[in-house]
Amino acid sequence: MNDAFQLNPQLASDCHHIGTIKNIELLLHKNAVVPWFILVPHTDNEDLLALAREERIEILDLASRVADYIRSHTDYKKINTGSIGNVVSQLHVHVVGRKHDDDCWPKPVWGNLQTESSYDAETIRQIKDIICT
Amino acid sequence: MNDAFQLNPQLASDCHHIGTIKNIELLLHKNAVVPWFILVPHTDNEDLLALAREERIEILDLASRVADYIRSHTDYKKINTGSIGNVVSQLHVHVVGRKHDDDCWPKPVWGNLQTESSYDAETIRQIKDIICT
């Protein structure tokens, strides 16, 4: 746990802030071309698999809740999950909805999305309502 | 749990079989250019984040053990983790050791490795000894 947690500026700039749940920042990537959430736990540890077991379980529990949201509320039924951190070293976990005719299927989204679209404020409010309450 | 589990032929062809640990097949990608392990649980479920919580925890526990091996026994200290499955739908989890001067840093390995190398039989035997015992 890191009480002096500060969100990496690149993540802050790339994403909408959805909420803070159990010391994990839940972000939504601004590119709405696929439903792409990013979880950022309050830790100085840079690798998911180097965390204490209980911390890892908490993050995966929230990731699973986000995946449930994507499957229930969008037509993206396949979920890609990853924690890479080669560019932004602050530990973050991607939860990304995918479908066979999406922008870069079957490639992973990282570095491969070709188009961009934006969320409107009402959609972001709805996502916050559903996931955070 | 799937008692009639069969390993996907593409995964079988791409990887060395290291062992079966608690209903999870542990594979080592044949391309030795980075230490790249793949965990394949005995399940018909295709997404890590759609598994029952206990199954997900078991897979992440083994992934963490594999990450410990990579950090302790290689000079790849950064671990990338991902479960994508857009090409091979059978659920599998990647645990990949990375370093700043590796073959495709900072890109993810999927689709980006430029070179190939092979493991010798003795190295594979040592990996089996260390991880599976």
For residue A98, give how far its alpha carbon lies from the nearest alpha carbon of chain B (Å).
Answer: 9
A114 pLDDT above the threshold of 80: yes
How many residues make up chain B in this entry? 133
pTM of the model: 0.96
Q: Which residues of B touch A60 (CB under 8 A)?
A: 49, 56-57, 60
> Which residue of chain A comes nearest to B107, CA vs CA?
A86
- Hey, are the CB atoms on A83 and B83 less than 8 Å from each other? no
* CATH 1.10.10.10 applies to domain A9-131: no
- The band of B80, judged by pLDDT with boundaries at 50, 70 and 90, is very high
Print burial letters for A94-124: b (CB count within 10 Å at least 16), e (below 16).
bbbbbeeebbbbbbbbbeebeeeeebeeeeb
C-alpha to C-alpha distance for A75 and A98, rounded to whole angstroms: 9
Q: Residue A53: exposed, middle, or buried by beta-carbon count in 10 A (0-12, 13-18, 19+)? A: exposed
Domain chopping of chain B, boundaries:
9-131
The ipTM of this complex is: 0.95
For residue B70, give how far its alpha carbon lies from the nearest alpha carbon of chain A (Å).
Answer: 11
Write down the residue that tokens 């993206």 correspond to.
A76
pLDDT for A58-113, tens place per residue?
A: 999 999 999 999 999 999 999 999 999 999 999 999 999 999 999 999 999 999 99
pLDDT for B7-48, tens place per residue?
A: 999 999 999 999 999 999 999 999 999 999 999 999 999 999
Mean pLDDT of all residues belonging to chain B: 96
Cα dihedral A74, A131, A117, A107 in deg (nearest 10) = -60
